[in-house]
Structure 1
Amino acid sequence: VVPINSKTTSITIAMSDADAACYIAKESGRNKIHIYKQGDEDIATRHGEMTWVNRIQYALNNDRFVLMTQSIASARDIENGPMHFEILIRMLDDDDNMISPGQFLPAAERYNLSPEIDRWVVTNTFKWLSENKGQLQALDLCSINLSGNTLSDDGFSDFLLQQFVSYRIPSEKICFEITETSAISNIDIAQRFIHSFSNELRCKFSLDDFGTGLSSFAYLKSMPVDFIKIDGQFVRDITSDPIDMAMVRSINEIGQIMGKKTIAEFVENEKILNQLKLIGIDYVQGYHISRPRPLSQLGKKDIRDFEKAK
Structure 2
Amino acid sequence: IGMVPIDAEVGGLYELLGAADAALEMARESAAETHSFDPENSQDLRLAEHYGEMRWLGRIDRALRQEQFCLYRQPIVRSAMPRVAEAPLHEVLIRMVDDDGRIISPGSFIPAAERFQLIASLDRWVVGKALELLGREVARDPKVSVALNVSGQSLGDASFHDFVAAELAASCVDPWRLCFEITETAAVSNLERARRFIMRLRERGCRFILDDFGSGMSSFAYLKNLPVDFLKIDGGFIREMLEDRSQLAIVRAIHQVGRALGLATIAEMVESRAQLDAVSEIGVDYVQGYFLRHPEPWRA
TM-score (norm 2): 0.88
CA distance in 1, matches of 2:114, 2:81: 37
CA distance in 1, matches of 2:250, 2:196: 29
CA distance in 2, matches of 1:225, 1:293: 27
Residue in structure 2 matched with residue 277 of structure 1 by the alignment: 280
CA distance in 1, matches of 2:110, 2:146: 21
**Contact map agreement 1:129 1:136 (CA 8 A) in 2:** no
Answering whether residue 106 of structure 2 is matched by residue 104 of structure 1, we say no
**Contact map agreement 1:21 1:34 (CA 8 A) in 2:** no
SS at match of 2:72: strand
1:211 Cα deviation after fit: 1.2
Residue in structure 2 matched with residue 28 of structure 1 by the alignment: none
Residue in structure 2 matched with residue 188 of structure 1 by the alignment: 192
1:23 Cα deviation after fit: 5.1
Name stretches of at least 5 consecutive residues in structure 1 with no aligned partner: 26-32, 299-310
Distance 1:11 1:290, change over 3 A: closer
Answering whether residue 72 of structure 2 is matched by residue 68 of structure 1, we say yes
**Contact map agreement 1:229 1:263 (CA 8 A) in 2:** yes
- Structure-to-structure mapping, 1:116-265, within 5 angstroms: 116-139=121-144, 141-198=145-202, 200-265=203-268
Give per-residue Cα distances to partners, 1:153-193, cap 9 Å, x unaligned: 23212211221122211001110000101111111110111
Give per-residue Cα distances to partners, 1:105-156, cap 9 Å, x unaligned: 01111111111101111111111111223245121x3100000111122321
Residue in structure 2 matched with residue 308 of structure 1 by the alignment: none
1:11 Cα deviation after fit: 6.8
SS at match of 1:268: coil
CA distance in 2, matches of 1:106, 1:137: 36
Residue in structure 2 matched with residue 92 of structure 1 by the alignment: 97
CA distance in 2, matches of 1:17, 1:56: 16
1:18 Cα deviation after fit: 4.5
Answering whether residue 38 of structure 2 is matched by residue 34 of structure 1, we say no
CA distance in 2, matches of 1:266, 1:15: 38
Distance 1:158 1:292, change over 3 A: same
SS at match of 1:137: coil
**Contact map agreement 1:172 1:203 (CA 8 A) in 2:** yes
Answering whether residue 67 of structure 2 is matched by residue 56 of structure 1, we say no
Q: Which runs of 4+ in 1 moved over 3 A?
A: 9-18, 21-25
Could you tell me which amino acid in structure 1 is paired with residue 279 of structure 2?
A: L
**Contact map agreement 2:76 2:87 (CA 8 A) in 1:** no
**Contact map agreement 2:60 2:109 (CA 8 A) in 1:** yes
Could you tell me which amino acid in structure 2 is paired with residue 119 of structure 1?
A: R
SS at match of 1:115: helix
1:236 Cα deviation after fit: 1.2
Name stretches of at least 5 consecutive residues in structure 2 with no aligned partner: 11-15
Give per-residue Cα distances to partners, 1:65-122, cap 9 Å, x unaligned: 1100100000011127453111011111121111111111011111111111011111
Distance 1:42 1:10, change over 3 A: same
CA distance in 1, matches of 2:51, 2:142: 46
**Contact map agreement 1:151 1:190 (CA 8 A) in 2:** yes
1:216 Cα deviation after fit: 1.0
Answering whether residue 14 of structure 2 is matched by residue 19 of structure 1, we say no
CA distance in 1, matches of 2:174, 2:248: 37
1:247 Cα deviation after fit: 1.1
**Contact map agreement 1:129 1:135 (CA 8 A) in 2:** no
Give per-residue Cα distances to partners, 1:9-42, cap 9 Å, x unaligned: 84778986542144579xxxxxxx3225962222
Higher relative contact order (CA 8 A, sep 6+): 1
Could you tell me which amino acid in structure 1 is paired with residue 95 of structure 2?
A: R
How many equivalent pairs are there? 283
